[in-house]
Amino acid sequence: MTRQAGSGGIGMTIEADLVVLTADLDTENALRGLLESPERLAIRQITYDLLRHPMRDNGCRTQSGDHLRRHCDTHSHALVVFDLHGSGHEHRGRDAVESQVMNDLNINGWEDRAEVVVIDPELEAWVWSDSSHVSRILGFGSNVSLKQWLIEQTFLQQGQAKPANPKGALKSVLRHTKTPFSASDFQKLASSIHFYRCTDPTFQKLLATLRAWFPAAPSS
């Protein structure tokens, strides 16, 4: 069922609350795992569509506005999520790349209805929250033993919240535990971790954006 937009253009018919453009199946599944549990995000139930750009991270950086233009009249909000690593502008940094894509979205009709989250350096940075679910899914018996192993392998320093090389650490852990891992496991992780334990600033930006756009109904 469609509904009339409350903040869009005159006569605009909105079919869904949110359209999300991602760079790959891993990111798409991670976001699906998050959005399927709105109560854990502290937002209301929303309708959404997940899209993947065929040119992956670089395509999201250079073509998000064009790719999402046709959704301006059918979705209330747009979110673009991709990795800084692989975007082609790693040297410019996350803030500059996010600003570039935001300008592109604004030019193509989204104005104040869109946001960009560039994960620095890549999606695996979100995996490393202080959660026992992460240890279990990655094949370790406990969070303590996983942390100790990462320190022993020099992926993690004492006092660090996450490895400096999140993808390399993930691959090494999976080789060590002989644990199969696929894109669907990003959805499992996103569905099970405790959000307050993930301190990554890009993850926190994502949460803040969703909560601002889709606040949970006040409890009665």
**CATH code (residue 30):** 3.40.50
* Domain membership flag for residue 27: yes
Question: What is the domain count for the chain?
Answer: 2
The pair phi, psi for residue 115, each rounded to 5°, is -150, 155
* Domain membership flag for residue 219: no
Give the pair of three-digit tokens for residue 17: 């609350």
Question: Rounded to whole angstroms, what are the CA distances from 51 to 137, 156, 166, 182?
Answer: 26, 34, 24, 19
**Can you give the pLDDT at residue 193?**
67
| 13, 118: one domain | yes
| 156, 59: one domain | no
| 84, 178: one domain | no
| 129, 116: one domain | no
| 90, 130: one domain | no
pLDDT tens digits for 31-59? 999 999 899 899 999 999 999 999 999 99
The domain of 89 spans 3-122+198-213
| 168, 209: one domain | no
d(CA 35, CA 45): 9
d(CA 191, CA 125): 16
| 154, 134: one domain | yes
| 7, 79: one domain | yes
| CB of 80 closer than 8 Å to CB of 114 | yes
Helix (H) or strand (E) holding 102: helix 94-107
Give the pair of three-digit tokens for residue 178: 């002989």
* Domain membership flag for residue 135: yes
Considering only CA atoms, give the Rg of the chain.
Answer: 18
| 205, 114: one domain | yes
Nearest to 150 by CA among 165, 137, 132, 133: 165
| 66, 158: one domain | no
Question: Given the structure tokens 């090389």, which residue do they identify?
Answer: 165
**Can you give the pLDDT at residue 9?**
44
* Domain membership flag for residue 70: yes
| 46, 118: one domain | yes
Q: Which residues of the chain have pLDDT under 50?
A: 1-11
| 54, 141: one domain | no
d(CA 119, CA 142): 27
Handedness of CA 68, 50, 84, 120 (dihedral sign): positive
**Can you give the pLDDT at residue 13?**
74
